[in-house]
Amino acid sequence: MTSSFNRHRRLRQTPGMRALVRETHLREEDFIYPVFVVEGEDTKNPIPSMPGIYQWSLDRVEEEIQEAVDLGIQSVILFGVPAEKDDIGSSAYDSAGIVQRALRQLKARFPALTLIADTCLCQFTDHGHCGVVKDGEILNDESLELLTKAAVSQAEAGADIIAPSNMMDGFTAAIREGLDHAGYTNVPVMSYSVKYASAFYGPFRDAAHSSPKSGDRKTYQMDPANRREALREAQSDKEEGADFLIVKPALSYLDVIREVREAQQLPIVAYNVSGEYSMVKAAAENGWVNEREIVLEKLTSMKRAGADLILTYHAKDACSWLNDTTN
């Protein structure tokens, strides 16, 4: 045979040959591992819809973080589950709040770990919305003040990065200004810029007790049908001073990750959300898919789509599989 067609299989013959031409690589430092911290003592509370994920009380959370660090994880994002909720989410900006206490404790215990604080109100408000609610309406500008207070108190408590997830307009600008004003000019903002109103957040809301009591999040989170809107959101957050851009969810939105990658120069974080995690876990527990192969494939696809970093509940497993050189 002569060369009337291309022999692509030449480069696939052996593991060594395939490694030579591999275009996308997962690394331990790509992963951000989410950790849920809860009030109380001696608590390692399983989340039924997220096998392998727990709510941790502060006297036990170091077990979880130590395990993650030993596996090679270099950054975690903290989500707080407070004891008390009220209509303005005041425990979100209490210096003795669950997230603030967790930050202080973990900063002292793991100085080299990058601590990211999720900044939102929904876990802390009794109505479960990410902003202030009046007569059934989620108020934008009134919410910015509270979110800024929450971000500043998290920076004060030792957060290395602030990650606001509330989707009010102007939240990145308000938080950047608030941080600068309080002297935290060097604390980066990892903005949930492109966040869809997604059914894939269901299991997270079990874990964080953050479902809205009435209505939904469709007036602030994005319509899954839209792609140009994602580019406008990303551009706004860049202009407002974001240092990282999050696209969320990830798996059904790989096209959006690619488009944001092409339009923006900032580091992009893919948030591989709870529902995406739980679907794979459920299928794997039934023996219907090979968990290791499917997880590494889906995480690789997020990087191939253009993400620099991946926020994922699979992070510990992924690190241990990457370290396992037996195959």
Q: Which residues are catalytic?
A: 195, 248
165 lines the binding site for ligand PBG (CB under 6 A): yes
Site size toward ligand PBG (CB under 6 A) is 11
* One of 57, 91, 264, 274 touching ligand PBG (CB under 6 A): 274
- 101 annotated among ligand-binding-site residues: no
What pairs with residue 198 in β-bridges? none
Residue 35's nearest CA partner among 69, 86, 9, 1 is: 69
Question: Quick check: 179 and 187 in contact, CB under 8 A?
Answer: yes
Binding marks (x or -) toward ligand PBG, 203..232, rule CB under 6 A? Answer: -xx----x----------------------
Question: Quick check: 127 and 87 in contact, CB under 8 A?
Answer: yes
122 lines the binding site for ligand PBG (CB under 6 A): yes
130 lines the binding site for ligand PBG (CB under 6 A): yes
- Work out how close the CB of 277 gets to ligand PBG at its nearest, in angstroms, rounded to a whole number: 7
Binding marks (x or -) toward ligand PBG, 175..204, rule CB under 6 A? Answer: --------------------------x--x
* Rounded distance between C-alpha atoms, residue 113 and residue 217, angstroms: 32
For ligand PBG, the closer CB: 60 or 205? 205
Looking up tokens 């990457």, which residue turns up?
A: 322
36 lines the binding site for ligand PBG (CB under 6 A): no
Strands 44-46 and 114-119: unpaired
234 lines the binding site for ligand PBG (CB under 6 A): no
Q: Would you state the structure tokens that stand for residue 295, as one six-digit string?
A: 């997880």
Question: Quick check: 299 and 318 in contact, CB under 8 A?
Answer: yes
* Rounded distance between C-alpha atoms, residue 133 and residue 136, angstroms: 6
- Work out how close the CB of 113 gets to ligand PBG at its nearest, in angstroms, rounded to a whole number: 20
* Rounded distance between C-alpha atoms, residue 221 and residue 64, angstroms: 31
Q: Which residues bind ligand PBG (CB under 6 A)?
A: 118, 120, 122, 130, 165, 201, 204-205, 210, 273-274
